[in-house]
Structure 1
Amino acid sequence: METMFASLTSSGITVSSFLICSLVALLCGALIAFTYTRRTRFTQSLVLAVILLPFAVQTVIMLVNGNVGTGVAVAGAFGLVRFRSAPGNAKDISVIFVAMAVGLACGSGYIALSVLFTVIACAVLYLLVFFHIGADRSGEKELSITIPESLDYTEVFDDIFKEYTTHAELTEVKTASLGSLYKLHYRVHLADDRNEKEFLDALRCRNGNLEVRCGQPHTPVEQL
């Protein structure tokens, strides 16, 4: 069992060892990318990067081959690279780090270890996404209501909120259409999500069928 986790390149780099490491790196990268695209948003550029990154890192590690000076030079070269695309979120960066770790393992010749690590990382990633670990389950919604200036917005919807919500908080008021309209923004918790349409219909009847919007609360884009 221990020999399975021995380095394939411990006795030197050969053409066969390079091809085996490269193939495993590409397959592991493809598996990570495939898992990442399940039940989550993704872009083609990120998928291609995750597939190729283990192979690229593996090749660099093989070229360094334990030479500290070369390793420092390569690290400095990579430090000069600036990504011109929009910054990724924390999940994207985490997947990139996983792909880099696989490339490091393959470049060091630890084929079995890289495959085992990939399988465990993909399984954990899929389960975390599948069970919505860390997702916001507070049930809070952001409500926007447009009313004519003739309505007093301070108490006009209190009875509707009392019937359909457990909590409603007015967070912002602003005027529109040269002051002829008011736009009200609330944070609400619905008592029963199944009554959302009935709730919106009641609001439309009260505000003269002007615009009513209800959705998930706006949160800043997560970046690293």
Structure 2
Amino acid sequence: MLTDLFSNILTTTSSNITVTQLFWILLTSLSLGFLVATIYKYHTQHTKEFVITLSLMPTLIAVIILLVNGNLGTSVAVAGAFSLIRFRSAAGSSKELLAVFLATAIGLATGMGYLLLALTFTLLLSLIIFLLEQSSFGKPNAKFRYMILTAPKGFDVDDFFQQNSHNLWNKMELVCIHYKKKTDVLVMEIILELNHQVSDQDILNLLLQEGVIDLVLHQQIPKKKRL
């Protein structure tokens, strides 16, 4: 059974590929592309443009693999084209990169004729992604808050957070502090580990009473331009 996964429907070279073989390659690529796009959309803020691209990407890659099979010069040219596209594209989220890599793997497998292998690993990975989305695996700790605090220059951040540490939070980590000379204020990035039964409104009320100029409170650390 395991050897069947690596069975190849392309018994001849790509120049002699039959219409039936081409039909099954394109149909499998398109079907699995729609499956990957459907899994990606689950619990994800997405755009229609990216979903359509994800659906058609395996078919496009499969066609490219069929065209460059055995042609070294064409393969190098295609690799260069993909490099240009990559460096002119904005960096996506980790889940977007996962979906793109999965779509690429499908296109490579189907383009080389390994249809059963492509179907098997797509179904397996799709099931794993679905189960992980349903579970609490990787879910941020609900007790942590990421805060951007703007206060007057004389604001004693260490003294303030030490005085209230037993009431509202267990731990405070000052990530960075920045002094803006033009407005004469301090901008601080702080991570708090809250006590149980403490709400965000309690934090807001306390800080606003202390004369804080501006306050931004996140339930998780905002995404940076990195994985």
With normalisation by structure 1, the TM-score equals 0.79
How much identity, in percent, do the aligned residues show?
24
Task: Find the partner of 2:163 among 144, 159, 164.
Answer: 159
Moved over 6 A (4+): 2-5
Hey, what does 1:172 align to over in structure 2? Answer: 177
Aligned residue number for residue 48 of structure 1: 52
Whether the 8 Å contact between 1:33 and 1:47 is mirrored in structure 2 is yes
1:88 maps to which of 75, 92, 97: 92
CA offset digits 1:48-105 (Å, max 9, x no partner): 332122111222233345x2xx1x2232112221122212344333322221221222
TM-score between the two structures when normalised by the length of structure 2:
0.78
The equivalent of 2:11 in structure 1 is 10
* Residue 78 of structure 1: aligned partner: 78
Cα offset, 1:149, TM superposition: 5.2
Contact 1:157/1:203 (CA < 8 Å) preserved in 2? no
What runs of 5+ residues in structure 1 fail to find an aligned partner?
none
For 1:212, which of 193, 215, 219 is the aligned residue?
A: 215
Structure 2 unmatched runs, 5+:
none
Structure 1 contact 169–186 (Cα < 8 Å) conserved = yes
State the alpha-carbon separation in 2 of the partners of residues 88 and 6 from structure 1.
35
Q: After the TM superposition, which of the residue ranges 42-51 and 147-156 deviates more from structure 2?
A: 147-156
Q: Does 1:33 align with 2:32?
A: no
Once the two structures are TM-superposed, the CA of residue 26 in structure 1 deviates from its matched residue by 0.5
Q: What SS does structure 1 have at the residue aligned with 2:25? A: helix
- Three-state SS of the structure 2 residue aligned to 1:109 is coil
RMSD: 3.0
Change beyond 3 A, Cα 1:24–1:164 = same
The number of residues matched between the two structures is 217
Decide whether the 8 Å contact of 1:32 with 1:50 is kept in 2.
yes
Matches within 5 A, 1:102-113: 102-113=106-117
Greater mean alpha carbon deviation, residues 26-35 or residues 120-129: 120-129
Instruction: Measure the CA separation in 1 of the matches of 2:54 and 2:47.
Output: 11
* CA–CA separation in structure 1 for the residues paired with 2:40 and 2:58: 15
State whether residues 40 and 129 of structure 1, in contact with CA within 8 Å, keep that contact through their aligned partners in structure 2. no
Q: Distance in 2 between the 1:4 and 1:203 partners?
A: 61
